[in-house]
A and B are shown apart, each in its own frame.
Chain A
């Protein structure tokens, strides 16, 4: 065990993956000698050489197009998009190419070895273009996996699993936790399963579902609710696509209530998918409407960041509303 923050855990996972498989290559904007704008790729070029850890020109569609070709060739690319906000120039490559490569070729070719890492999320005074949470755009795209860790331990285990998974994975890192979240992380190689949610905290009265940095918000709201005698079950979804409907449904059948929280805007956010699927499966168990506590349907604001965020107070209020419905 070693104390690591989330960035160190990512760096440690990349180091292990590169040591263990020489086909693993890490690239993107400023990831080379400099080690990345957040330093997630520090010392990788030094350790593994420039051909395996390198800067690319400043072109997101180029980075992912290049990564698709590299993956199809049999290498194991781990491409970095500097901010999730800048992934959209690569949207065509990801949605039309990466995700459909295997299906359209009848399994002859695939981008299964590709992992795309990108920092996402707000809470760092990042304004419109350093705060977005674009997971729902990609959740609508069959062929991709989407994974979001909540802390350093999860980050290392899930990133190693993502790199080795034989499907393209969009790995989104909550950047407000990069240095804020510190945990004991095994120094050895280990993996956490993709597509499986994690039961963070057991409870009786209501199920709270979230992912990434918002899991901490759910835990705080659960703590606040405890003073009102409300017992919350907290689930970290971890994988957005495919997502663990079984665990959420089982929990809701027990508690009878569900609240979903995400930073991204409400309309078309992934909470809509969860809410629809759970009301379909758990209709007779639900004792209140499913609550969604999300970002507003606005671009991510700067001055009103605090007001925009689906924080623990908004979550706490929604828990009480749901409990007293």
Chain B
């Protein structure tokens, strides 16, 4: 039997030595200054004009979508919404550095990743209006997107559950022998869940090609980061699990892109996990059910508004000669129109017929669900006015 000595790496000491927080100093990668020039000593990652403009457009598009849908929720047209204002660079910059074959497993504030992959405005709307064109068949709350064709795993509300799942998904990719990896997004609050520990440890021990991407935006609903953890953020934990780790300025889209590109390279070549911690700020309310004025100051928000990732990217594109103000304004206006038109369209599409309520629980409908459906249908037929969404189509 093989001799395994887990003490092999341990250095002895003969005095009592206490290891304190701060001994490992994890720096934050920054490439772009807020005026769009490079930090001294930094260099921009190789990025074509097309990709750079697509990144900007995606961030701007998400901002438009977020603004419009918050308004739609306020008007009672959809039940719920959740914006990512201020954090657009994290999801968009990271996904831009991936292959389209890579699986995305997200928490819920990464709509930018989905938009970058090509999810259409109509698709966003159909999901949010839970109509019969929604690929989730109208079963989940708004913003719980998923798209198999785009390799975007359907979102679920329970926090951090996707973290060990991402390890398993990536293990499957490795076993299938392809070069695809999995990227797994989560917030710093979710990182306090047991599933974070489970997922990172399993990914490290089982050598899973997964990039764990933490959006550390300072708040989990009302809970500030200092009530979430006492250590050096989330990055320091990666080291403890034996995971290669990068901390990055989450409002600097070039830094996010460069870090993710490197993380992906390591994951593919070395078949191992990498952790990225993107430092940012949740300028948006947690969701439409939240009002941040109850737990943080306007001043604090303004300080972060000045670090806007979108403005920073515009400055940089401008310095490359890749930005045209009037063209961009026109594009913004077009996008607003597109969002509004798609919203009105999706609103008119009916929900699925009632038969759908028992589909997909199993691969086929078992006897007890068929019986329950029949009972429900005859009830709806008796009281059609009480169930207007479905009664018209009950046979």
Name A residues whose Cβ lies closer than 8 Å to a Cβ of B: 25, 51-52, 54, 56-57, 59, 61-62, 64-75, 77, 89, 92-93, 96-97, 100-110, 112, 142-143, 145, 166-167, 195, 242, 245-246
Contacts and interface: CB of A to CB of B under 8 A. Distances in A.
Contact of B154 (A52, A66, A105): A105
Contact of B205 (A57, A92, A102, A245): A57
B192 to A, nearest CB: 14
B202 A56 contact: yes
A66 B171 contact: yes
Interface string B355-395: 00001111100111000000000000000000000000000
Given A74-B176, A89-B194, A103-B139, A65 B146 contact: no
Given A73-B173, A74-B172, A167-B363, A68 B165 contact: yes
Contact of A66 (B165, B175, B363, B368): B165
A62 B194 CA distance: 9
A70 B168 contact: yes
Contacts of A102: 360-363
Counting contact residues on chain B (CB < 8 A from A), the size range is 35 or more
A294 to B, nearest CB: 23
11 contacts: A59-B197, A65-B164, A68-B164, A69-B164, A73-B103, A104-B136, A105-B154, A107-B137, A142-B361, A166-B363, A167-B362
Contacts of A75: 171-172, 175-176
B121 interface: no
Nearest to A60: B198
Given A54-B206, A106-B136, A109-B146, A59 B201 contact: yes
A56 B175 CA distance: 16
A92 B137 contact: no
Nearest to A74: B172
B156 interface: yes
B388 to A, nearest CB: 23
B330 interface: no
Contacts of B103: 73
A96 B206 CA distance: 24
B177 to A, nearest CB: 11
A69 B169 contact: yes
B168 A51 contact: no
Contacts of A107: 137, 359-360
B143 interface: no
The 7 closest A-B pairs by CB, nearest first: A65-B164, A69-B168, A62-B198, A73-B172, A69-B165, A105-B154, A66-B168
A108 B146 contact: yes
Contacts of B263: none
Contacts of B154: 101, 104-106, 108-109
Interface string B49-80: 00000000000000000000000000000000
B199 interface: yes
B301 interface: no
A92 B160 CA distance: 11
B194 A61 contact: yes
Contacts of B362: 102, 143, 145, 167
Nearest to A71: B168
A97 to B, nearest CB: 5
B224 interface: no
B26 to A, nearest CB: 24
Given A52-B175, A67-B168, A93-B195, 18 more contacts: A25-B175, A62-B197, A62-B198, A62-B199, A65-B168, A65-B198, A69-B166, A70-B169, A73-B168, A73-B169, A73-B173, A73-B176, A101-B154, A102-B361, A104-B136, A104-B154, A105-B146, A242-B368
Contacts of A106: 134-137, 139, 146, 154, 360
A162 to B, nearest CB: 13
Nearest to B171: A70
A193 to B, nearest CB: 13
B147 interface: yes
A54 to B, nearest CB: 7
A68 B170 CA distance: 11
Nearest to A244: B367
A97 B361 contact: no
B305 to A, nearest CB: 35
A284 to B, nearest CB: 19
B187 to A, nearest CB: 17
A33 to B, nearest CB: 9
Nearest to A25: B175
Interface string B142-185: 00101110000110101001111111111111011000001000
A115 to B, nearest CB: 14
A245 B372 CA distance: 14
B198 A61 contact: yes
B68 to A, nearest CB: 24
B222 interface: no
Contacts of B134: 106
B180 to A, nearest CB: 10
B148 A96 contact: no
Nearest to A56: B202
